[in-house]
Chain A
């Protein structure tokens, strides 16, 4: 098992390097440091000296890959690639283009993101599985057909409508919860109810439909037919056997999302003014703060790959037929 893990980790390294190079190309080839300086200094009437001093201040005035003027190891380290991109590997995030420490900001902001993402995830999982099982229990009846129809309707509505409608109904009209905002400590709960609720409803459509398909596939297998022939009640079959076996594909695909919960939902956090990592990224994109966007892209990728690794590991844990 450890040999497998080590092998997988080694496979990840070329991918991480590739991602680093791609993001580097995106951020520095397409968009020269001159342009970045221009944006942050205001655009039209910027002198070359102002640009140069801004670049020097933020470390953008070094050559891209290879520094011929430096000595020895500095030839490679005193370059933009090494300073900005390669340093991400050791989680040295540096400062944003507005001179704020990125690592500090991440430390302050990861908790609100998790507070929304983790409950939504687990509650959503349970809700979707329950609804899917109910639909399968009533399969080939009108309830099932209408259930699918409702799921497709739910999928066709943009998540922004859910957020806006949720805010309108529960916050403005019914005045049950505040429209947006966040507070520290236990007071955060009343601010988190609506985002989590909206997240659940928005995820119900695709989730229930997909899990229903998986459970239905399990239901048509021979062992279920045998159990029914032997007289076991449908209810018991569904909630014990089909659920257990259907959880294998569900869990393994869902586990890959776990690390990404850290990043928070861009939309939710922005609409609900929650100071998490999602809104951090959103603001950075709005302000065209490339330093932050670079870091978040890298983080997101690392977490996604971690998720893939978790998926592979969980395959081996739940399915005894899969071995290394």
Chain B
């Protein structure tokens, strides 16, 4: 058993670590305090925070890979794979409906007396030990109740000890109630999944018999990677170019403005498509590298918006009293940029990163459809939707893949948008 880290794993963990360290260092600064105060003001902010945290944890669990030999083959699985096993390698024959015990398509099987019949075969990995009909309903009912009860127990065990201290941080009852209910829902979701997903295919199976619920959980990591690694790539460019253009002005400003006007004139999707097409010939067919390439291309084409904002803000900050005083006193430009300009730009950076996160997750699905997104073998919501297009045209229709992708993608994007609103409320002075 060895720990293997893909390139995207490393970058995700670095981004997470950097974010955590920055938070721990700066947690008493006015910006973080403002954010905290705003976040506890409305129920929806706490709910969104919980949801995003849950998705982040799942994504991080999926970003630790272990390699070992099994039956002479090299196998690499992530921690999430191990938690969800054996669903990660089980394969039915083909499609099957959610919670079904039989396959969705008929198979020709040998019947009695050498004849062949068309029948719906039983699924290998669902409903083991259950005959069809009412006993399935009772079994599901039993498992659901078990799930809720254990979810409640989990909630009591993990949350009640900390109840006093968390309640003190949130002042309004609405917010506390929403937080506790959402926490209960999250725990129940975990326990219900554990109770149901190993006995049934909660969202059915796809064309090659993979459990759709497993695929949609694995896709969380892809969305997370695209959202964070892209920002990671984009920030150095945007920060340095924006600050240099705004602070030094003169020919540097002109050059940088020319650069981003030129780059920004090319329509986004086309530029990304052109870049991905041009570079992907160079790299081999490694899905992880293709994901990395997509993140780099998205970052290299997406720094322009943030750069403009930072340049504008730097131009204003430059004329502040303390900056002028520092320059008069002979403080080096580098120190001024580091100590005076940079901290005052952080609020724009935070808002933009969070808002861009949801935009990037949505963009990935579109790009996968166009064909310049992630590799076809990577688990992603974009690939699920892409496949769903053909599945919906079948008679009878296969809808479960699309619904699953929709639910999870919408939940993540919506929560991130709510958090973006919260941050704007906290960090951007609005007229009211």
Chain A residues with CB under 8 Å of chain B are 14-15, 18-19, 22-23, 26-27, 30-31, 35, 39, 152-153, 155-161, 164, 167-168, 172, 217, 220, 260, 263, 266-267, 270-271, 281-282, 285-286, 288, 290, 293, 296-297, 300-301, 304-305, 308
Of the listed residues A168, A271, A297, the one surrounded by the most CB atoms of chain B closer than 10 A to its CB is A297
Out of A15, A31, A271, A300, which one reaches B261, CB within 8 Å? A15
Q: How far is the CA of A161 from the CA of B414 in the complex (A)?
A: 14
Kindly list chain A residues whose C-beta atoms are within 8 Å of the C-beta of B388: 164
CB distance from A5 to the nearest CB of B (A): 18
Q: B86-94, B103-111, B177-185, B265-273: which one contacts chain A? A: B265-273
Q: Is A27 a contact partner of B278 (Cβ separation < 8 A)? A: yes
CB distance from A181 to the nearest CB of B (A): 14
Which B366-410 residues sit within 8 Å CB-CB of chain A? Answer: 366, 369-372, 385, 388-389, 392, 402, 406, 409-410
Kindly list chain A residues whose C-beta atoms are within 8 Å of the C-beta of B389: 164, 271
How many chain B residues touch the partner (CB < 8 A)? 41
Q: Is A285 a contact partner of B277 (Cβ separation < 8 A)? A: yes
Out of B281, B369, B418, which one reaches A31, CB within 8 Å? B281
Q: Is B261 a contact partner of A157 (Cβ separation < 8 A)? A: no
Q: Which partner residue on chain A sits nearest B389 by CB separation?
A: A164
Besides A26-B278, A30-B282, 7 more A-B contacts (Cβ < 8 Å) are A18-B262, A23-B266, A156-B417, A158-B409, A164-B388, A168-B392, A266-B370
Which applies to chain B's interface (DSSP): helix, strand, loop or mixed?
helix
Kindly list chain B residues whose C-beta atoms are within 8 Å of the C-beta of A288: 277
Of the listed residues A30, A155, A156, the one surrounded by the most CB atoms of chain B closer than 10 A to its CB is A156
Q: Is A267 a contact partner of B431 (Cβ separation < 8 A)? A: no
Q: Is B417 a contact partner of A152 (Cβ separation < 8 A)? A: yes
Mask, B244-273, CB within 8 Å of A = 1, is: 000000000000001101110111011101
CB distance from B5 to the nearest CB of A (A): 27
Q: Is B392 a contact partner of A164 (Cβ separation < 8 A)? A: yes
Report 14 cross-chain contacts, Cβ distance below 8 Å, ordered by A residue: A15-B265, A26-B274, A31-B277, A35-B281, A152-B418, A155-B417, A160-B385, A161-B385, A285-B277, A285-B371, A293-B277, A297-B271, A300-B270, A308-B265
Q: How far is the CA of A270 from the CA of B371 in the complex (A)?
A: 12
Kindly list chain B residues whose C-beta atoms are within 8 Å of the C-beta of A296: 270
CB distance from A17 to the nearest CB of B (A): 9
Q: Which partner residue on chain A sits nearest B420 by CB separation?
A: A152
Out of B258, B270, B366, which one reaches A281, CB within 8 Å? B270
Q: Is A27 a contact partner of B385 (Cβ separation < 8 A)? A: no
Kindly list chain B residues whose C-beta atoms are within 8 Å of the C-beta of A158: 362, 365-366, 385, 409, 413
Please judge, given known A-B contacts A14-B258, A305-B265, whether A267 and B366 are in contact too, CB under 8 Å: yes
Q: Is B267 a contact partner of A300 (Cβ separation < 8 A)? A: yes
Kindly list chain A residues whose C-beta atoms are within 8 Å of the C-beta of B267: 260, 263, 297, 300-301, 304
Q: How far is the CA of A297 from the CA of B271 in the complex (A)?
A: 7
Q: Which partner residue on chain A sits nearest B270 by CB separation?
A: A297
Q: Does B275 contact A (CB under 8 A)?
A: yes
Out of B365, B414, B417, which one reaches A160, CB within 8 Å? B365
Kindly list chain B residues whose C-beta atoms are within 8 Å of the C-beta of A26: 274-275, 278
CB distance from B223 to the nearest CB of A (A): 11
Q: Is B366 a contact partner of A152 (Cβ separation < 8 A)? A: no
Q: How far is the CA of A267 from the CA of B267 in the complex (A)?
A: 14
Out of A152, A156, A168, A267, which one reaches B369, CB within 8 Å? A267
Kindly list chain B residues whose C-beta atoms are within 8 Å of the C-beta of A156: 358, 410, 413-414, 417
CB distance from B415 to the nearest CB of A (A): 9
Q: How far is the CA of A168 from the CA of B399 in the complex (A)?
A: 11
Q: Is B277 a contact partner of A290 (Cβ separation < 8 A)? A: yes
CB distance from A76 to the nearest CB of B (A): 23
Q: Is B370 a contact partner of A285 (Cβ separation < 8 A)? A: yes
Out of B265, B273, B406, which one reaches A161, CB within 8 Å? B406
Q: Is B265 a contact partner of A30 (Cβ separation < 8 A)? A: no
Q: Is B281 a contact partner of A23 (Cβ separation < 8 A)? A: no
Q: Does B322 contact A (CB under 8 A)?
A: no
Q: Does B421 contact A (CB under 8 A)?
A: yes
> 7 closest pairs, A vs B, by CB?
A18-B262, A156-B414, A300-B267, A30-B278, A156-B413, A31-B278, A301-B265
Kindly list chain A residues whose C-beta atoms are within 8 Å of the C-beta of B275: 26
Q: Is A18 a contact partner of B258 (Cβ separation < 8 A)? A: yes
Q: Is A157 a contact partner of B265 (Cβ separation < 8 A)? A: no
Q: Does B279 contact A (CB under 8 A)?
A: yes
Kindly list chain B residues whose C-beta atoms are within 8 Å of the C-beta of A300: 266-267, 270
Please judge, given known A-B contacts A35-B281, A164-B385, whether A19 and B258 are in contact too, CB under 8 Å: no
Q: Which partner residue on chain A sits nearest B388 by CB separation?
A: A164
Q: How far is the CA of A18 from the CA of B325 in the complex (A)?
A: 39
CB distance from B285 to the nearest CB of A (A): 12
CB distance from B290 to the nearest CB of A (A): 15
CB distance from A264 to the nearest CB of B (A): 11
CB distance from B170 to the nearest CB of A (A): 21
Kindly list chain B residues whose C-beta atoms are within 8 Å of the C-beta of A308: 265
Q: Is A19 a contact partner of B269 (Cβ separation < 8 A)? A: no
Of the listed residues B271, B277, B431, the one surrounded by the most CB atoms of chain A closer than 10 A to its CB is B277
Kindly list chain A residues whose C-beta atoms are within 8 Å of the C-beta of B277: 31, 285, 288, 290, 293
CB distance from A260 to the nearest CB of B (A): 7
